[in-house]
Amino acid sequence: MDPVVDLSLRYVMRKLGTAAAALLVAGAGLVATAGTAGAATGPVNKALSAEACSTAWGSGVKSATDSDVKPLRNITTSQSTCYDRMVFDVKGVSGKIGYHVGYVPKFYQDGSGEQIPVTGGAILQVFVSAPSYDPATTKPTYAGQAGKPLPGVKLTGYKTFRDTKFGASLEGQTQIGLGVRAKLPFRVQQSGDKLIVDVAHTW
């Protein structure tokens, strides 16, 4: 207990008597407890969030037909409490973005069939209906190179993502190889002009 508070309570005990002072001590204890609980809110919330992470996404193939093919502008990654995320930014899309996402034993470049090594316990192959070039002009819109890591993507410290490789961009779609820690649950969703692939940290 704080020395100042202790001295104040001793004074009150002499003036008001033991019973009244006991009530004040109990009140001080409640205040101290409330302060401690408030300080622990952050870690507790994080723990609860981790416990609430969904594992119901499954690891089976997920796909959707496209209705609005536009050029790929960028690919970025980020981390969350429950999953690692990859985002495909599709320029000017106003409708649905088509995709085909699933685990594969090995990653082969679309078109040539050449195997591209991908580091990790499992490989998630992602096809997005967005070419890395403008279909009207064939001018490149995304600087991915076959067999190379995705430009600008750094995965140091990620819990699930281990590696990225650009496969190919043919016939209106782009192919990506995503190395992950294990064959974990994943989901695919669209938000505006972005296609989002989340891979869970655990089952």
- CA gap 54, 27 in Å, rounded: 41
102-158 residue pLDDT tens: 999 999 999 999 999 999 999 999 999 999 999 899 999 999 999 999 999 999 999
**34: exposed, middle or buried (C-beta count within 10 Å: 0-12, 13-18, 19+)?**
exposed
Both structure tokens of 87: 């985002």
Q: Does residue 124 fall inside a structural domain?
A: yes
Residue 88 and residue 21 share a domain: no
Q: To which H or E segment does residue 126 belong?
A: strand 122-128
Q: Does residue 57 fall inside a structural domain?
A: no
Residue 176 and residue 129 share a domain: yes
What DSSP letter does each residue of 145-157 carry, written as one string?
-TTSPPTT---TT
- CA gap 3, 90 in Å, rounded: 63
pLDDT of 22 reads 38
What letter would DSSP give residue 57? S
Q: What is the dihedral of CA 4, 41, 157, 169, to 10 degrees?
A: -150
- DSSP alpha helix (H) spans, the chain: 3-16, 18-39, 41-51
Q: Does residue 55 fall inside a structural domain?
A: no
154-180 residue pLDDT tens: 999 999 999 999 999 999 999 999 999
Confidence of residue 68 (pLDDT cuts 50, 70, 90): confident
Q: To which H or E segment does residue 77 belong?
A: strand 72-79
Residue 108 and residue 8 share a domain: no
Q: Does residue 31 fall inside a structural domain?
A: yes
Which residue range forms the structural domain that includes residue 130? Answer: 62-200
Q: Does residue 49 fall inside a structural domain?
A: no
CATH number, domain with residue 94: 2.60.40.3500
- CA gap 97, 173 in Å, rounded: 10
27-60 residue pLDDT tens: 433 333 333 333 333 333 343 344 579 779 999 9
pTM: 0.75
pLDDT at 1 over 70: no
User: For the chain, how many structural domains are there in total?
Assistant: 2
